[in-house]
Structure 1
């Protein structure tokens, strides 16, 4: 009876009921607020993850062990862009989500003109990013630019990549289709490497400040003295990227011997790659485990590649990087028409076309990468699949910057809705006829029911 009395009294007393409801609501709100301060949960539900950073950017942020300072010189209102500070703040908040010690400071270049002049600011909205005692200016803002800037600042030391020149080799800063500068070289510069040419007919030795030496296919024979300088560079532990095409070695035979490599003549034939390309294109799709190929899952293409064969030698550790043509072969001659396997002369696949070599020398680790193809990084072909990404990974590893080998960017998903002609007609008819008829029918039904009532 007592329980029933209080129960009835509770439901009949509106003041008591409302008071308890308000108290419960306040307790719930306080509890949710407390949990929100202790646990942060975010989820990007946009179709193409436009409110999240690429995995490559997140990986770069993980490599930054110290704080990052970003100073933005922007007015409170821009005539063309409006609230430019909000645009920049919202964008950089994506980075702060993954790295809490990114400090963002805004300075009005009109009110603090002295600071703007001292920082050599040229444009409204210009940013200065500082990390580990180094800084860079940015006048444009997007994920690729900001992440590349952080990647450059993350380099532990200044790195110089030199490339052999003077014999018709591909140039790392060249713009011809044959050269490597437009895509590959530009990417290396973007990532903080300095590029210099090296003519061994003029230089006494390969400079000691060369982090990596790149050798591409010479069109003229190297003089014996030039080859001697290359061998001395290898003997003292220099790091090397050798892109060797299916052509005569032109004085580099002794370098192949030094690296315990056999470079038989012929090109790789890959007729069953399934990529609808020439059979003389070797396709790399899966890669053995190595620091260079860590998390790398992009297809790479090698036009007219040559095979690499290693000699068994305890002096070097050989690691296969790219193997192709599992159902293909090595042909001594370029095929004319449809390629056909010749049992007497051709060598069946799979074929190794890229290899990493390591050894300990002079109390340090020496690293060398040999690729049986230089065209895959040429301006004409570097944009195919993950060619340039793999090339940059190779240079990062050779330069001892393997911590900067990042995950590859995901493909941007198409956010457009594509409709067939029939679907468009259905939507149009439904909007113009179906919806009005439906509303009219509902109105008639309501009128009919009311009339009967």
Structure 2
């Protein structure tokens, strides 16, 4: 009989009652942390793609605060009554009231911050998260609402772009909104917007639109200015020499280039100088895309005259064996060498860095130029390219835009099926694949690529091929930026490692001194209470 009573006592549910208090305490701690996270989210200290999970966790933890103590009372009602009637309950009630007041204040602040977000505070010394005054002025005079659609795949980070667009929305007085679309999940939307590539932003103002290639304040604000100040931007593609077709889509045509330019509000036309013998006055830039036959001296004269009044040229050339030039003179090559200091070498680039495709020249390095500055870390490749050599021209001194690795070379023996570098005849690496130049007097600009295949529909959307070409056309046409932002200089921060003695003192203080003070305080409190009886 005694054994039976002992067994019943051992399995009495009272011994599980403290679990309820532990559960409620942990739930209270978790709820406090989640409220802090929620507050930081509302205050835009950081952003979350979806806060539904956070809200669900907050409700569950708040519910467990009630469920835990209730479980304790249910399992051990006698101890609960003793606790509520004793001295600990009086002191505990004060702590509970203070905690309830703190949570109430935090809840009210959270609700007010959510319903009246106001202007977020930028507490960084250099105001890294504050929009430039020019951007704020632009947002203040928006004539119509602007909606931004950011096309980002799941592989492309969105934090910076989301924070930037959120800043535009905050300071726009309701005139700027945005959304994110994954082009992999919604390819139709990307196609309708004329988006090729990842990380692009489509801005819509009324019936006008602009495509922003990079999620930067400079690019977004410049696009807003173009939307507010519409003007026809016409570029011409030269024809009559077997250049690549811009009208029909195909592996060797460049209709994707035309579509990308039209998506950026360019007016794209063709120009046959052999027929018109004149360059239109509205030509922002003339693009020569892979001519198979040489241009005439008369056409070169027209292009030279066009450049002297600030015209812009974007030229893509192929290796001589891939054209119909043969032994005929090349007036275009002579013009580029004398006027601009860009020599088209008679070779074909061999790049061992491209694995099984040695004729695919890979841009391993980019120059510090407006065209390529934002391409750092990205790859562009140029199938069947010829190398460029840079000197000093009459109009300007060119700058390299893209170069291969050191081990690449320009092969001059086109009949050799097993090409290898010949120091006496071949062009040594690194090979220059693209170059740009600007005449500081006339304002004319030139971009030369030693290849045109990279711009074809087959390769245009691969890696940074399309970006480098569209950037080049934007720069040549003077549309790379419409406004300069006056951002404050960032304050450099240098972390200096502490000495061994200081590190030891820090470790000693955190591991021994501070815990020791807490323990000493507890012992002192206990002794004082004991002395008072």
Report TM bin, short chain.
0.5 to 0.7
Note the C-alpha offset of 1:328: 1.8
User: In the alignment, is residue 235 of structure 1 matched against residue 292 of structure 2?
Assistant: no
In structure 1, what is the equivalent of residue 244 of structure 2? 170
Which position in structure 2 is the counterpart of 1:348?
Answer: 428
CA contact (8 A) 1:270 1:279 kept: yes
Q: State the SS of the aligned residue for 1:185.
A: helix
Of 249, 254, 259, the match for 1:186: 259
CA distance in 1, matches of 2:101, 2:334: 86
Distance 1:135 1:25, change over 3 A: same
Q: 1:367 aligns with which of 434, 445, 451?
A: 445
Which structure: greater helix fraction? 2
Aligned twin of 1:99: 169
**TM-score, normalization by structure 1:** 0.62
Distance apart, 1:18 and its partner CA = 6.2
2:340 paired with 1:259:
yes
Cα shift at 1:320: 0.8
Q: What is the CA–CA distance in structure 1 between the aligned matches of 2:94 and 2:340, rounded to whole Å?
A: 89
| 2:298 maps to 1:225 | yes
Of residues 246, 268, 273, the one that matches 2:349 is: 268
- Counterpart-to-counterpart distance in 1, 2:401 and 2:146: 42
Task: Tell me the CA shift for residue 171 of structure 1.
Answer: 2.8
Cα–Cα, structure 1 residues 32 and 333, in superposed 2: closer, same or farther, change >3 Å? same
> Of the candidates 272, 280, 287, which is equivalent to residue 214 of structure 1?
287
Distance in 1 of aligned mates of 2:294 and 2:102: 87
* 1:19-54 deviation digits (Å, cap 9, x = unpaired): 55543433343455566646759xxxxxxxxxxxxx
Give runs of aligned pairs for residues 71-220 of structure 1, distance below 5 A: 95-96=165-166, 98-100=168-170, 101=172, 102-103=174-175, 131=205, 135-136=207-208, 153=227, 157-181=231-255, 183-220=256-293
Could you tell me which residue of structure 2 aligns to residue 245 of structure 1? 318
* 387 and 344 in structure 1: CA distance in 2 versus 1, 3 angstrom threshold: same
Name the SS for the 1:340 alignment partner.
coil
Superposition deviation, residue 211 in structure 1: 0.6
CA distance in 2, matches of 1:237, 1:269: 36
* Structure 2 stretches lacking a partner, 5+ long: 1-85, 122-130, 148-161, 178-201, 484-533
> Would the aligned equivalents of 1:10 and 1:17 in 2 still touch at CA under 8 Å?
no
Equivalenced residues, count = 327
- Distance in 2 (CA, whole Å) between partners of 1:137 and 1:71 is 9
1:328 aligns with 2:377: no
CA contact (8 A) 1:70 1:129 kept: no
Structure-2 separation of matches of 1:378 and 1:151: 31
Separation (CA, whole Å) in 1 of partners of 2:330 and 2:92: 99
Give the greater-gyration-radius structure (CA). Answer: 2
Structure 2 SS opposite 1:291: coil
Normalised by the size of structure 2, how large is the TM-score?
Answer: 0.53
Q: How big is the shift at 1:374?
A: 1.1
Maintained 8 Å contact 1:303/1:376 = yes
CA distance in 2, matches of 1:154, 1:327: 49
Could you tell me whether the CA contact under 8 Å between 1:329 and 1:350 is conserved in 2? yes
CA distance, structure 1, for counterparts of residue 240 and residue 261 of structure 2:
22
> CA-to-partner distance for each residue in 1:227-250, whole Å, 9 max, x for gaps?
221221122221110111112474
CA separation of 1:237/1:137 partners in 2, compared to 1, >3 Å: closer, same or farther? closer
Distance 1:198 1:233 in 2: 14
Q: Which has the higher strand share?
A: 1
CA distance in 2, matches of 1:352, 1:366: 22
Q: Give the equivalent residue in structure 2 for 1:287.
A: 366
Shift, 1:151, TM fit:
9.5
Q: Which residue of 1 aligns with 2:419?
A: 339
State the distance in 2 between where 1:289 and 1:155 align.
Answer: 29
Name the counterpart of 2:127.
none
Partner in structure 1 of residue 39 of structure 2:
none
Q: Is the 8 A contact 2:341 2:397 kept in 1?
A: no
Q: 1:114 is matched with which residue?
A: none
Mapped to 2, the partners of 1:289 and 1:253 lie a distance apart of: 25
Q: Give, in angstroms, the shift of residue 204 of structure 1.
A: 3.5
Q: In 1, distance between residues paired with 2:209 and 2:465? A: 29
